[in-house]
Structure 1
Amino acid sequence: MSHQTRYKSVVDVMVLLHRSDGRVLLLRRAGNVYASGLLAPPGGHLEDGETFIAGAVREVGEEVGVGIAPADLEFCHLMHHRSPDGEGRVGVVFTTQRWSGEPRNREPSKCSALVWANPGQPPADCVPYTAAVLSQFCSGALLSLNGWPTTTGDTA
């Protein structure tokens, strides 16, 4: 009997800060980081032992300096995506319309600008998974695949 290797995945958390005018906050990545020059929402990967919600709150605080009460995070999307090198990753996306403080660039070595964008017409220079997340956010879909070969068994 052969033993399958248990699947393991990096988990990314992203937060769409959603203003009353309908725009969401995107960060222009900069420096020696993945997708430098492109736009992505605040977020990052979970640290060992961290929950989705704790990671989302931490990442937003680190990147744009706002505080979010865990109860104000609303789950809005789950994406199973592949990085450009083919690594499978799970993206958990939250949205919130409530936060404390004014978003500011707290990581100038990793971010060159903050951009409030219309999620229904995202800028052309978004990271590919960001454009996919925004499209799903606008459609209300809860689950999607991005970067995987399509097969007849996929329903997302």
Structure 2
Amino acid sequence: MGKKWFTMPVAVHLFLVKGTEILLLRRYNTGYEDGNYSVPAGHMDGGEEVKHAAIREAREECGIVVREEDLQIVGVMHRHSSDERIDFFLAASSWSGEIVNTEPDKCDELIWVDMQKLPANMIPYIRQAISNYQQGTWFDSFGWKE
């Protein structure tokens, strides 16, 4: 009998940036971190490249088109919460279309916020990832007990 290999969920998170501001969305009716701010994000479907997953999430959650060449992978996080995860963080400052909330059943607000003045009710690992982005820290571990 062969060894069963460990697997974990993988997600992409998109930093849409205008100058010093970042687009945040407030989670609603999802059962996870509802009422707290995050960024457009989602699990990878499998069989898709990281940038393609971010392009898909931008279209699905914000109604915009982000070109592959306008995306930069800015961070990776090995995260522990109720399970173990890998998160990719990508940034874009250029896209086409108007940003709209295309998932009002999962998000009740989209806001532009100065990255130095994030709201108190941010999902903690997202707050850390934005800080890492600002500092140029490309890799981090989060949620592991020492």
Task: Using structure 1 for the length normalisation, give the TM-score.
Answer: 0.88
The alignment yields a C-alpha RMSD, in angstroms, of 1.3
Which residue matches 1:93? 89
Report sequence identity in percent. Answer: 32
How many residues are aligned here?
145
Task: Using structure 2 for the length normalisation, give the TM-score.
Answer: 0.94
| Runs of at least 5 residues in structure 2 that lack an aligned partner in the other structure | none
Deviation of 1:32 (Å): 3.0
Which residue matches 1:131? 127
Which residue matches 1:30? 28
Give the Cα–Cα distance (whole angstroms) in 1 for the partners of residues 128 and 5 of structure 2. 28
Moved more, 3-12 or 38-47: 3-12
Give the Cα–Cα distance (whole angstroms) in 2 for the partners of residues 24 and 103 of structure 1. 12
Pick from 34, 39, 42 the counterpart of residue 40 of structure 2.
42
Instruction: Decide which structure has greater strand share.
Output: 2
- Structure 1 runs (4+) deviating above 4 angstroms are none
Contact 1:120–1:138, Cα closer than 8 Å, also in 2: no
Give the Cα–Cα distance (whole angstroms) in 1 for the partners of residues 4 and 111 of structure 2. 42
Give the Cα–Cα distance (whole angstroms) in 2 for the partners of residues 133 and 26 of structure 1. 13
Which residue matches 1:17? 16
Give the Cα–Cα distance (whole angstroms) in 2 for the partners of residues 55 and 33 of structure 1. 22
Which residue matches 1:65? 63
